[in-house]
Amino acid sequence: MSQWTWISASQIGTSHIRTGQRLQDAYSCFGVLVGDRNFFVGIVSDGAGSAELGGQGASLVCRNIAKFVRSHLSTLKILPSGSIIEEWIDRVRDLIYNVAKLRGKDARDFACTLICVISDGDSSIVAHVGDGCLVAREHASELWFAPSWPDHGEYASTTSFLTDQPTVSLRISSIDIRVDVLALFTDGIERLVLDFSEKIPSSKFFNAIADPVLRSTVPMGKDAALSFQLKRYLGDEQVTARTDDDKTLVVAVLR
């Protein structure tokens, strides 16, 4: 039976260090065994830099979407439909609005993005709000593709958020081809790993970042040693010289 192995890390941006802000990114990733199917679940969220409590919003979103996914897979044992994901988004939006009300805040103070992927390799579904991206490698051709592109608004450094009113700009994509590598990341590294002129992932970057995971000696689950190396890489000067934002990257391989 094929198993998922993954690495994951976040690194605070140098601009946030200078201003004394906390890390605004959050993520959650885990595997779920359902019969003879191994599902990988990856969730990343980026708290809006303009939002007072964006990081807390991102953490709340990752924690609760993870809870919804676990419950769904354990009971129904199949990928969720688009309508079920829409229900999850409505529920997490309600949670944010309730928390904001209890704390005397505006829901916009918790503004954050979302990327969530659920995959057993043969079939995958992706939920995407805002910027950041999910890229995947087709097993047969080993070609990289992005089922949905980062959502950038009309003006520079703008995007959509889960707290937007009156409705959220949610994009749901189904992947019906076999994939063996998935990578999710927040907008902090978008310009380093995506070709915006061609709207394609950088195969050079993703082949290089996936190769150690494909060769990992950890048979399943998180490779802690490689995740530590990933965290160091995200904080390295060669990266921080090109982006001062928070950075989160999750890479999962099916072997």
Enter the DSSP assignment of 217.
S
Side-chain half-sphere of 19: how many Cα atoms within 13 Å? 14
Rounded to the nearest 10 degrees, the angle between the axes of helix 203-214 and helix 224-234 is 150
Centre a 10 Å sphere on the Cβ of residue 214 and count the other Cβ atoms it contains.
15
Place of tokens 């990343």: 44
Going edge to edge, which strands form the sheet with 179-185?
144-145, 133-138, 179-185, 247-254, 4-11, 221-222
Mean pLDDT of the chain, nearest integer: 96
Quick check: pTM over 0.75?
yes
Q: How far apart are CA 40 and CA 251, in angstroms?
A: 11
Query: Residue 224's domain spans which residues?
Result: 4-254
Output the pLDDT for position 74: 96
Distant-in-sequence, close-in-space partners of 175: CB < 8 Å, separation ≥ 6 = 119, 123, 124, 125, 126, 136, 147
Instruction: Give pLDDT tens digits along the chain (255 positions).
Output: 899 999 999 999 999 899 888 999 999 999 999 999 999 999 999 999 889 999 999 999 999 999 999 999 999 999 999 999 999 999 999 999 999 999 999 999 999 999 999 999 999 999 999 999 999 999 999 999 999 999 986 665 679 999 999 999 999 999 999 999 999 999 999 999 999 999 999 999 999 999 999 999 999 999 999 999 999 999 999 999 999 999 999 999 999
Count of structural domains, the chain:
1
pLDDT of residue 198: 95
Q: Give me the pLDDT at residue 20, please.
A: 84
CATH number at residue 226: 3.60.40.10
Residue 55 phi, psi dihedral angles, 5° rounding: -65, -40
